[in-house]
Amino acid sequence: MSSRRWIGRGRAAEEYGLTIDQVDYAILLGLLRHKNLGKEGIIVYREDLERNLDIVRSFPKRIWIFKSEAMRRYGLSRNQLELAMKRGLVRFKEVKNPYYSKSKAIMLVIPDIEANLEVIKGYPKHNEQDKNKRRLYYERSKLRKRLEFYCPMCGKKVRPRRDSQVVKAVWGDFMSIDIAIEKLIIAHYRHVHTDYDRDKENIDKWIKEKEVEATAPGFKSFAGLLAYYLEYKDEMEDYEKEDYIEKLNALRRTAIMRAKEYYTEEALRLAEADGLLKREKTQPSIRDNNGT
């Protein structure tokens, strides 16, 4: 066949007043012979297009829909659509994700969904894996509810974050509810009602000059050591960079530990004043490893 009998899909749509989706649907229905040239795109047989032009023009101007959009538009779950795809009720294609360049997205044929909508809606909304995830989410939400407390200073209830290490410890039976609530109260007061988050970054406030000199001879402050590293790191060998980074991290860890100890005591005083905690002389659970 002469190459002039073939026309690029995009050019065909433009030349005959069609949309790309209409051309695609004609290909899917077998009305147009086509060739996939890979990176060069798809070409269609002009004679087929001209012979079926009125039919192709009658097709919906849009036939492709992203799976996530189809879920919202038709009130379907991911499992229902995936079953429909698996059983051949809905044709689909894989395309580049418009939002995340390194991942793929699935597009579905709208007429296929609409023609089989009632059947698809009859499929289970969730598979066993989804059901287990939802059950787990529900149980963890109940646990977070049990761990919430009222903060007088905020004037509202405070619930731990989903990624809280304390929640994970209770979930794994490594910590009791009472101890967990103590830790959460202290962590909340330390982060929200003291200057801990700001002050812990002021490394030189917590590190003595002699400690800096012992770690990095020739330097008297963390700020001076950091400034030197940032100025000359491009001229350093890799092993030199690693040495400076290790020293900086060591000083930072010490400073943050001391800041945490100091502001944990302040958080304890504030929480006691608000009646949330009652400190006992031998109560290591409140002081040790406080955090979320």
Helix (H) or strand (E) holding 117: helix 117-121
Same domain, yes or no: 242 and 109: no
Q: Are residues 70 and 12 in the same domain?
A: no
Has residue 73 been placed in a domain?
A: yes
Residue range of the domain that includes 172: 146-287
The whole-number pLDDT of residue 291 equals 56
What is the block-wise mean pLDDT of the chain (292 residues), using blocks of 10 residues?
A: 77 94 94 92 94 95 94 95 95 86 89 96 88 87 94 95 92 93 96 96 96 95 96 94 96 97 96 87 49 54
Residue 263 and residue 187 share a domain: yes
Residues 82 and 13 in one domain: no
Question: Is residue 126 a part of any domain in this protein?
Answer: no
Which tokens in the block code for residue 267?
A: 């958080």
Which of 23, 41, 57 marks a domain boundary? 57
Residue 108 lies in a domain: yes
Q: Are residues 283 and 155 in the same domain?
A: yes
Structural domain tally of the chain?
3
> Does residue 29 share a domain with residue 109?
no
Q: Which contacts qualify for 190-199: CB closer than 8 Å, 24 or more apart?
A: 190/260, 190/263, 190/264, 190/266, 190/267, 190/290, 191/292, 192/151, 192/153, 192/154, 193/153, 193/267, 193/270, 194/263, 194/266, 194/267, 194/270, 195/263, 196/259, 196/260, 196/263, 196/267, 199/259, 199/263
| Inside any domain, residue 136 | no
Tokens of 179: 């101890």
Q: What is the CATH number of the domain that holds 42?
A: 1.10.10
User: Does one domain contain both 83 and 191?
Assistant: no
Same structural domain, 84 and 158:
no
Query: CB–CB of 193/212 below 8 Å?
Result: no
What pLDDT shows up at residue 127?
84
- Identify whether the C-beta of residue 74 lies closer than 8 Å to the C-beta of residue 41: no
* Residue 160 shares a structural domain with residue 275: yes
**Statement to judge: residues 166 and 114 lie in one domain:** no
The pTM for the full model equals 0.58
53 and 71 within one domain: no
pLDDT at 128: 83
- At 52 the three-state DSSP class reads coil
Residue 129 is predicted with a pLDDT of 83
Which DSSP helix (H) or strand (E) runs through 106? strand 104-109
Q: Last residue of some domain: 57, 74, 96?
A: 57
| Within-domain flag for 177 | yes
Within a domain: 137: no
Asked whether residue 93 is domain-assigned, the answer is yes
The answer to whether residue 117 is domain-embedded is yes
Q: What is the pLDDT at residue 279?
A: 67
